[in-house]
Chains A and B, each alone.
Chain A
Amino acid sequence: MASDLFGIPADQISGSSSPETIEAWDSVQHLNLVLALEERFNLQLSPEEIEQMKNVRDIANLVESKLQATPS
């Protein structure tokens, strides 16, 4: 997903990738990332949670904890 949105190959994205290390990761793409996550995993992210999304690892952990909290 991040590879699609930021236009870079998946093998160049790691857990520590963040807006500081990826040039295309600006505020518009951050919003697109939030929308893509909500759509793909069918969840809602609160303003506080979006605030926590500082790098790819944080995002993965956040999504995982939310998916476990809401049995589908």
Chain B
Amino acid sequence: MSSQDKALDLRGEVDRLISAGMPRATALRLHELWRQESGPASAAFLISRYEKLRDKLSLLSYRLAILRSFTVEPVVPLLRAAAFCSGIDLRIHVGDFNAYAQEILDQEGQLYSFSPDAVILAVRTADVAPELWQDFASLSSNEIGDAVRRVSSSFQQWIRAFRHHSQAALIVQSLEQPPRPSFGVLDNMSETSQSGVIEQINQELRRAANGYRGVYVLNYDALVARHGRLRWQDDRKWLMARLPIAAYQLIHLSSEWLRFLVPLTGKTAKALVVDLDNTLWGGVIGEDGVTGIKLSAEYPGVAYQEVQRALLDLTRKGILLAVCSRNNPDEAIEVLEKHSGMLLRPKHFAAMRISWNDKVQGLREIAAELNIGIESLAFLDDNPFEREQVRATLPEVTVIDLPGDPLQYAAAIRDHPAFERLSLSAEDQQRTAFYAEQRERAQAEQNFQSKEDFYRFLDQEAEISPVTAATLARISQLTQKTNQFNVTTRRYGEQQIAELAAQQGSQVLSIRVRDRFGDHGLVGVAITRDRDEACEIDSFLLSCRVIGRTVETALLAHLAESAARRGCKQLIGWFLPTKKNAPASDFYRQHGFELAKQNGDGSLWSLDLTQRKIASPEWIKVSMMNGGHD
């Protein structure tokens, strides 16, 4: 069957599955269709079918506005179809042609009344800096300097105005270089070169973006260069339809946008579970033996070293690695520990399942061991059969598709949007080490008769501090990612945290925990608001890394004590149940709070501060830092 026939066949199957009322199976087939054919026609088909299923699948709804100086309409269906496949139901508003500046500045205009979650600003060098693009050779150095200043300050002004009017994320595309500089090869020899001044504007843009929370720069020039500058453009389409990009490249622009939207919506993978044979090395260890497998700096082993290099880069972004392989454990561990071609070692893996059991079971166990949801796992396996089985049984797992050629495996990993991050905290970079310490803790715990003895042995030290510029990103990240020990599950962006902290009567506190095995880093957040004579706990959450170590009691004791000191008579807090936060459901009751109110959303708990105190656990040494605001 040709691929076109197969795609037609899939369309028929999709419609049969919709009529049969099988939304999850339909979604699987739609993803398959999109993998086979990601173009304008399949995108239109996907969108129309997804719109029928929208209410039956748990999709995350997200609003994106695109401000532009060129035709982006054909990218919109591609982006919506790809987003559907990532579990995002994208509503898109496209700004009027070349009206981006007015739309950013006009608080009453269409942009802000759409109330977007994110905005993309896509302007071409030719439109925003026409003299630098086409008349560069005729400009004096003064005129060049003026143009650079004008364009740079326009970007600064737009970003500032946008942040003033909106809390949404802003993605600004940087300026592209001309495919043929005005002075030809001489451009590179002159002091003020055309490419140099465009890069100067881009540097200014990056600097301006760094000054604000939630403003990101998309390196558009690098995107164009990656796909070939001359092949990227289509002059005929530009003249005909104001579409400057070749038809077959539009999918790459859509993918690049998605690399920002996936982390913005939190649809990222926290851990990647990898197969071993023919994925981390070439060949099968059980048949080829340690000396027979392909893994070195030369072809063909180099393909697998590149895979390992890509995986190492993921660990540096805080993504955990785990092994799930059908193998004899002794042989596999011998390669992991001793093979000279291995870049990854056992310490890089947070969990391992090497046995003859099936992979679906292995994935479930790994999620449980790492204490993360199954939807936070990604799966890498060279075997299409295994991938299909995981897709069919665990549709929440992000399955990485691998092409036939192992030399392209590494690129498939690096290109996947589920591994993108928009900011990195210190905790992200050390996460793999945290999990290794965690294993030591679990082993130590078994040697103690009572929990209290174990707590004393741990020598925990906690440091409570108001939010600072350095901790803001991590605090926001914890509110976004913590699902289990979280009483209200309110999600806050960095900008919102900064605003909460600045409000009169509000407090945003974080807690860091250290023990004899190592530093857990910043693992808890409490947000409170004083109103009349009560202090209300808006958010209280703790990373799963420290659940069950009485750290929550230490933080709550601090809230009660400081609220009493400020003259509050009551400490109150809502528990809002979700599918996942059962571990926190008894939190208030266990600490002496009384049920004050109950409604369809949850229960309100109250502690009379004039009568009661909360004792901080004696085995945790608590210190209070005066981080202050900056």
Identify the A interface with B (CB < 8 A).
1, 4-7, 28, 31-36, 38-40, 44, 46-47, 50
Contacts and interface: CB of A to CB of B under 8 A. Distances in A.
9 contacts: A4-B41, A4-B48, A5-B44, A7-B48, A32-B44, A32-B77, A40-B41, A44-B236, A46-B236
A34 B44 CA distance: 14
B74 A35 contact: yes
Nearest to B248: A39
Contacts of B39: 35-36, 39-40
Contacts of B74: 28, 31-32, 35
B250 interface: yes
B239 A47 contact: yes
A5 B42 CA distance: 8
A26 to B, nearest CB: 10
Contacts of A36: 39-41
Interface size class of B (residues with CB under 8 A): 20 to 34
Interface string B33-53: 000000111101100100000
A55 B44 CA distance: 20
A4 B236 contact: no
The 6 closest A-B pairs by CB, nearest first: A35-B247, A36-B40, A4-B41, A4-B45, A1-B41, A4-B44
A35 B250 contact: yes
Interface in B196-252: 236, 239-241, 243, 247-248, 250
A31 B241 contact: yes
Nearest to A51: B240
A40 B8 CA distance: 14
Contact of A38 (B42, B44, B73, B247): B247
A49 B338 CA distance: 64
Nearest to A31: B241
A33 B236 CA distance: 16
A29 B419 CA distance: 33
Contacts of A34: 247
A9 B45 CA distance: 11
Nearest to A30: B241
Contact of B243 (A7, A31, A46): A31
Contacts of B241: 31
Contacts of B73: 28, 31-32
A41 B48 CA distance: 24
A47 B41 contact: no
Contacts of A39: 39-40, 247-248
Contacts of A7: 44, 48
Contacts of A46: 236
A50 B240 contact: yes
A30 B42 CA distance: 15
A4 B10 CA distance: 13
A6 B241 CA distance: 20
Contacts of A1: 41
B30 to A, nearest CB: 13
A58 to B, nearest CB: 17
A35 B73 CA distance: 12
Contacts of B40: 5, 32-33, 35-36, 39
Nearest to A35: B247
Nearest to A1: B41
A31 B44 CA distance: 13
